[in-house]
Structure 1
Amino acid sequence: MTTAVAIQPNMPRPTPIPIAAARPRKQRSPSGKENLVTGKPVSNTVSPVANIRTRKERPCDACRRRKSRCVIHEGAVLCVLCEFHKQECTFVQSPLPRKRKVVDDGKRDSPNNQKKSRSVEAEPPPLALPTPTITATAPSPLPIQTSLTNQDLPHLGETLGLQRRQHSRYIGLSSPFDSLLIGLSHFDTRNESTFDLGTLRRVNDHECFIMLPDENTQDYADEADTLNLVEQIVHPHGPALLDIYFRTIHPSFPIIQKHLFVERYRSGDRTFSPPLVAGMYILALNWWSFDPNLAGYPKPDAARLEAIATKSLSLAMERPKLSTIQAGLLLLQRPEADSWSLTTQLVAIGQELGLHLDCSGWSIPLWERGLRKRIAWALYMQDKWSSLIHGRPSHIFGANWAVKAINDDDFKEEGDGYETRLEDSEEVHAENERGQILFAQMIRLTAIMAEVMDTFYTQVAIQDFANAGKNSTRLILDRAKPVQIKLKEWFAKLPASTRMDASTNSRLSSTGYLHLAYFATEITLHRRIVQSLDPSTADPYLLFICRSAAKTRLISAMDFVNRLKPDHLQAFWYFASKINFTLIGTFGSLLWATAPAHEEAEFYKTRLREYRWTLSVSSKRAEFLEYAVQMLDASRAMLNNLAEKPSLAQQISSAGVPPAAPAPTSSMGPPKSQGQQLQSPEDVEMHEGAELRRYPSASSFHGFANEGFDQIGASATGSRQGTAEGSAVGDTSRSN
């Protein structure tokens, strides 16, 4: 007997979301114009009684005479061809005799022939849940499959990207399907028009898709078997893993229509995308050991799940649907995932599905519009952050991106066809709201980060800076000011629920990945400035200001990592976080390598050693941080080849001026006053000597003082606060 066991967390984490057994659904008429598909009405005189099918693969009489494929859309009365020819669609004639082909005895029972003989349109058996709730269960035999008719499941035929047996492909303006010619076609009440190559699906007056059958794609008949294999690998813990997914990952990465998925799963729907379900299980397995009711059982084979998911995803790309993008995005969130090619494939598939378009006025269900926007923006973020961490060109351009900004309505779940559902508790509802705000803020930050990449890291920008020669730093500062202002304003306007000091109520909090992405964006900006500095030709004042601002950013980022709590470390981290942690160390190594004096180099060396220790300790709770540790070690190995830097005392002595203190510690001090530059050796002597007297020994050196940074109007942040509300980039360009 299967026993349901409630999940009791042994760490700060959200409480489980019970998903109760579905109550009988009441028949209701569609309500709300936004959930209806409007189009030109088509008069039908055929009684619906004539279209009651009592077989699984029997074509209608007319299609049998034509020897054509008989397709009836969900909820339709007539098959596609009979509706097109405006004729009766009956099933009264007997099958025509077939001529059998001669098959060699050695090949008759081959697996290939058995596979081809199987019907590709047969309804797969439903998935019977071992328990009425999605929660951890004791081991039990695989569930017995029971019959479930299509009438017991909500119809997805009105959707564009989630139909069960056909997929859509966007028809662009320059394609052979001219929009004027498409307008001459006759569209039925479903906004569809059938012709020899497929079915046209019009979503508004301008955009149109062609709907193609899944059965004509490779290995479509094996999807049900693949899904069964996925369930067998995690059985009987599939429901418990879904519980983990929806309370740990989904709130801050809401790319799945939660209630629709849960109700379909609970109702026994067996038409889920195998790579999507596998991706959800794979991510949830990262929290397996934290669950007391799962930790005692053998962990399912994640490597086997990944192999199945990868193979089935490549096949699903031949019949792309929204679930294809969802599956790919989830697989890319794995801590060990690092696939640039998969990201580019998903961008192409997203364009094929029309995710780059504005769907706000399309004749599709309202909930599907919101789902499409969430998936579109998740794909946008995947492309932009992949571009940053790989240092390669983005594939999404603003000129071809028409998706509207996300809003609260895009997260609604109503109108998916299920009359009854289990309402979330107030605590779960509040957690979902926090996650939605976090998701929306990450989208806005990504747009700013994309502007940084476009401004400083494109081939055109690189050539511009090279052509500027000695003035490259000033050119970079001029271009940096507008984007730095946007970054500062974004941080200042962050909602209270997304700040690091916001109360977590002993629940896991994913706000860490948002703030880490902010520091990565700032570092990416300052990194380009530091790379352009040349101590032999740069203005000493400009050199001081730029390196001081960069140091402030580095200290703030490192202290942010120091303050991460278990609530943050054990939560879901966005895929780019592994590299973003590494970028902090890379930036520190860059400042070490370019430090003009031995004392400053030693300061960065010490901070990097502390940062590595912090990452090593934190990796016990977040294993993906091991990658950042390894990259830090690799950078340290490269720095072994760095030539020994002269001390500050030696630099002053070489200028013919005796040192002002016996134990200098800083390469330069703050400027004398706002806007005043150090132009002569006397100026250098005066300010460096004052700084030396201020820091009499190397052991007391704590980095550059913030006075000079504040004097130019920057909003410097203390090293122990780490809020990093902005930097001095814009002001440095103004003061010079």
Structure 2
Amino acid sequence: MPPISRYPSTDGQGETDLVMHVEGARSRSEQCTFIQNPQRRKRRRVEDESSPDAAKARSPDADRSVQAKPPINDYTSLPGPSLLKQTLGLQNRQHGQYLGQTSEYDVRLINLSPFNGRGEHVSMPGTLRRVSPNVHFIMKSESQAEVDDELANLDLVESIVQPHGRALVDLYFRIIHPSFPIFDKKVFLEKYGRTHREFTPPVLAAVYILALNWWSYTPELVNLPKPDIQKLEQLAPAMMSVVLNRPKLSTVQAGLLLLQRPDGDSWALTGQLVAVAQNLGLHLDCSKWKIPEWERSLRKRLAWGLFMQDKWGSLTHGRPSLIHAEDWSVRPVEARDFPETAEDDDEEEGSSDIETGRLTFIHMISLTEILTNILNTFFTVRAMANLSNDSENAMKTTLELAKPIQLQLKDWHGKLPKSLAIGETRARKLSPTGSLHLAYFAAEVTLHRAIIRFDSTHMDENLRHITRNAAKARFTSAIEFVGRLEPAHLQSFWYFASKVNLAIIGTFGSLLWATSDNPEEAEFYKSQLAEYRWTLRVSSKAAEFMKFTVGMLDSSPVFVKDGASKTTTPNMPKEPPAQEPAPEPMQQDQYKQELDQMNYGINEASPSVGTSTENAFQYDQDIVGTAMAPTDTRPAWSGFANNVNFSTGDIQDWSLDQLYNFENFQVAEDIFASRRFIEEYDETGNNFAGF
């Protein structure tokens, strides 16, 4: 059904209005809303709901959709204690817009206005509100027609889930909120405790839509008919479009939640949310603003939630990022920005752990900052053009740029607390850490994807050998990780990018297959991809978003008609290549000298937190007698076997510490000449082979 329609007003003023058409209105003995004068009708509807006679005629299960409480227009005047007094971004029936430095408003002129003790000054277009000496907002009230439309939409949303609205809210805060804390739980429950009418329609619909995915996790609901989620999903986009021009924090909250649906990702909506966030000043440091403390913390969490949406959306859609460092001053989140603690844990079976969720959110932010570095370094239009225009040195330049980012990833992984290890799950608790670790592998694969972009059989053989084996290690580690996911991970909340992150890993493996040097290598990657596809196929019964990658692999050239012939992959020469003459001694010395001049050395003296002590390397040691590089002489793959027993729950060194020390070609060549190692690695695929 078309849930929201636009009809011309008949009051002679040429106005338009949004009204709701509920198909089942007559069956519920409610007045039909399909009329021509929505403004008068909606005022009458609110009045009718306030009458005792109307309440008596109503069915018991319609309690929340027709609550008789009038809307609260200003939380400042709310009687009794409330967290919402003095709120800036969640006022009811009014919204505020940030006044930028180059707009028609000038800070110096605004500050000449007589502000009252609440930092407000009533002006012609609206009420000016000063939250800091140089930051101002203009607050505008919503029209009665807009309020009436919103109430009708809210009642429609509630009617779809009634009488289970509160149970779904509880489900949301048990399972989704701990690792995606873009609400203040106490504020949300305070508002919901009064009436569902204090929200905006899309945010209420979004909470219900996500919570319905865990309907069976509440014993009281499991045997009851499940509300029609498709009706909510049909309503939500139209309702979202209505509130985009009336920015509130709830607008961004609703958009982010709708984007978390497996089939709800939209780059266009992401762009709209970034624009709304800028209208709300979410890109600014609010730590000293004159707003409630809970709102300062909420703004930080919400801003970083949008930051992650933008960056991972940029990755998964292959689009330029919309948030830039030059216009971003949001401070990092701290422990005090998370009001819920372990003491607030819901002990009901199937809940998510609050502390694990908080740490997952924090470390996801820091991982996203590394991803931003990867995207800015290798995948902007300018970066790709610069590397392509210097094809002769593209690989060398790429590796120079990649190494510090690889170190950032290694450091990030090494500092993960033990509670975030993929093997750390609690009995009868869901674990959101699978999404975090998958994001790490997607970042690793994206970095290596940039490196093998310049992979060519014409490049230096030793260098190509090292880079391809590093890529191979990342790919097989990612496959092993997916195979170790437990039901507690699969049934948990997964960040929106997880669906495509799995596909990115599959694409990476397909690229390695397509650029294989020989049939044996091609067959290895085909076998690994087949195992990956099988793991995803069986896991998709518990995590349906995995079906996307299964379908992608089913249609991949690797498997179409039982896969393209392993003897026809692009990199496989049909004839043995002509032997090139060995370089003259002078050329060898010159090449070695050039490598010596590349300063890739680092010094890491202590192991990372939560990892094996084998991760501690003294890179300055001369381990081969005559070093080719002054500060980095260890074997490029010396960290390859750094694994802690997975069954113990300790952090496993997924990072492998392959840092492209390609200066030391002779050492790497000697290592990979070991057929024993290659065979053991091929057989296990889990990197437990050692040297």
Please indicate the TM-score interval, normalised by the length of the shorter structure: 0.7 to 0.9
Pairwise CA distance, 1:531: 1.6
Distance 1:297 1:546, change over 3 A: same
The residue aligned with 1:559 is: 480
The one-letter amino acid paired with 1:493 is K
For residues 372 and 120 of structure 1, the distance between their equivalents in structure 2, rounded to whole angstroms, comes to 37
For the pair 1:386 / 2:313, whether they are aligned, the reply is yes
Pairwise CA distance, 1:643: 7.1
Assess if the C-alpha contact under 8 Å between 1:530 and 1:547 holds in 2. yes
The residue aligned with 1:191 is: 119
CA deviation vs aligned residue, 1:159-199 (integer Å, no higher than 9, x gap): 11011121110111111101111111110011011111111
For residues 571 and 127 of structure 2, the distance between their equivalents in structure 1, rounded to whole angstroms, comes to 76
The residue aligned with 2:157 is: 230
The one-letter amino acid paired with 1:595 is S
CA deviation vs aligned residue, 1:7-26 (integer Å, no higher than 9, x gap): xxxxxxxxxxxxxxxxxxxx
What is the correspondence of 1:549-628 to structure 2 with a 5 Å cutoff? 549-628=470-549
Of stretches 218-227 and 402-411 in structure 1, the one that deviates more from structure 2 is 218-227
Pairwise CA distance, 1:265: 1.5
Of stretches 361-370 and 298-307 in structure 1, the one that deviates more from structure 2 is 298-307
What is the correspondence of 1:492-511 to structure 2 with a 5 Å cutoff? 492-511=414-433
Pairwise CA distance, 1:120: 11
Structure 1 residues without counterparts, runs of 5 or longer: 1-99, 104-108, 127-138, 415-421, 658-674, 678-706
The residue aligned with 1:45 is: none
Distance 1:145 1:650, change over 3 A: closer
Assess if the C-alpha contact under 8 Å between 2:95 and 2:141 holds in 1. yes
For residues 548 and 525 of structure 1, the distance between their equivalents in structure 2, rounded to whole angstroms, comes to 14
The residue aligned with 1:731 is: 661
Pairwise CA distance, 1:656: 8.5
TM-score norm. by structure 2 comes to: 0.75
Pairwise CA distance, 1:268: 3.3
CA deviation vs aligned residue, 1:508-552 (integer Å, no higher than 9, x gap): 0000000000000000000111121111x2000001000000000
The one-letter amino acid paired with 1:712 is A
For residues 501 and 541 of structure 1, the distance between their equivalents in structure 2, rounded to whole angstroms, comes to 37
The residue aligned with 2:140 is: 212
For residues 136 and 397 of structure 2, the distance between their equivalents in structure 1, rounded to whole angstroms, comes to 46
For residues 551 and 521 of structure 2, the distance between their equivalents in structure 1, rounded to whole angstroms, comes to 24
CA deviation vs aligned residue, 1:101-135 (integer Å, no higher than 9, x gap): 999xxxxx993324256559979979xxxxxxxxx
TM-score norm. by structure 1 comes to: 0.71
Distance 1:676 1:545, change over 3 A: farther
The residue aligned with 1:484 is: 406
Assess if the C-alpha contact under 8 Å between 1:285 and 1:302 holds in 2. yes
What is the correspondence of 1:390-401 to structure 2 with a 5 Å cutoff? 390-401=317-328
Pairwise CA distance, 1:648: 12
Secondary structure at the residue paired with 2:121?
strand
Assess if the C-alpha contact under 8 Å between 1:716 and 1:724 holds in 2. no
CA deviation vs aligned residue, 1:251-310 (integer Å, no higher than 9, x gap): 000001111211221233621111111101100111124544323222211111012221
Give the alignment's Cα RMSD to 1 decimal: 3.4
Of the two structures, which has the highest relative contact order with CA contacts closer than 8 Å and spacing of 6 or more? 1
Assess if the C-alpha contact under 8 Å between 1:714 and 1:731 holds in 2. no
Q: 2:567 aligns with which of 644, 647, 652?
A: 644
The residue aligned with 1:175 is: 103
For residues 194 and 473 of structure 2, the distance between their equivalents in structure 1, rounded to whole angstroms, comes to 55
Assess if the C-alpha contact under 8 Å between 2:515 and 2:571 holds in 1. no
Q: 2:291 aligns with which of 364, 368, 378?
A: 364
The residue aligned with 2:621 is: none
Pairs aligned (count): 564
For the pair 1:405 / 2:326, whether they are aligned, the reply is no
Secondary structure at the residue paired with 2:429?
coil
The residue aligned with 2:248 is: 321
The residue aligned with 2:359 is: 437
Q: 2:181 aligns with which of 254, 267, 283?
A: 254
Pairwise CA distance, 1:561: 0.3
Q: 1:712 aligns with which of 636, 649, 652?
A: 636
For residues 652 and 215 of structure 1, the distance between their equivalents in structure 2, rounded to whole angstroms, comes to 77
For residues 106 and 191 of structure 2, the distance between their equivalents in structure 1, rounded to whole angstroms, comes to 38
Assess if the C-alpha contact under 8 Å between 1:278 and 1:309 holds in 2. yes
- Greater Rg by CA: 1
The residue aligned with 1:697 is: none
For the pair 1:447 / 2:349, whether they are aligned, the reply is no
Assess if the C-alpha contact under 8 Å between 1:530 and 1:546 holds in 2. yes
Secondary structure at the residue paired with 1:445?
helix
The residue aligned with 1:17 is: none
Assess if the C-alpha contact under 8 Å between 1:159 and 1:368 holds in 2. yes
Of stretches 459-468 and 426-435 in structure 1, the one that deviates more from structure 2 is 426-435
For residues 435 and 454 of structure 1, the distance between their equivalents in structure 2, rounded to whole angstroms, comes to 28
Secondary structure at the residue paired with 1:184?
coil
Distance 1:725 1:200, change over 3 A: same
The residue aligned with 2:36 is: 112
Assess if the C-alpha contact under 8 Å between 1:124 and 1:270 holds in 2. no
Secondary structure at the residue paired with 1:193?
strand
For residues 570 and 182 of structure 2, the distance between their equivalents in structure 1, rounded to whole angstroms, comes to 55
Secondary structure at the residue paired with 1:111?
coil
The one-letter amino acid paired with 1:371 is L
The one-letter amino acid paired with 1:358 is D
Percent identity, aligned pairs only, is 46
Secondary structure at the residue paired with 1:621?
coil
The one-letter amino acid paired with 1:404 is R
Distance 1:460 1:202, change over 3 A: same
The residue aligned with 1:474 is: 396
Of stretches 424-433 and 610-619 in structure 1, the one that deviates more from structure 2 is 424-433
Distance 1:124 1:213, change over 3 A: farther
CA deviation vs aligned residue, 1:423-476 (integer Å, no higher than 9, x gap): 735858992122111100000000000100000000111011111112211110
Q: 1:277 aligns with which of 174, 192, 204?
A: 204
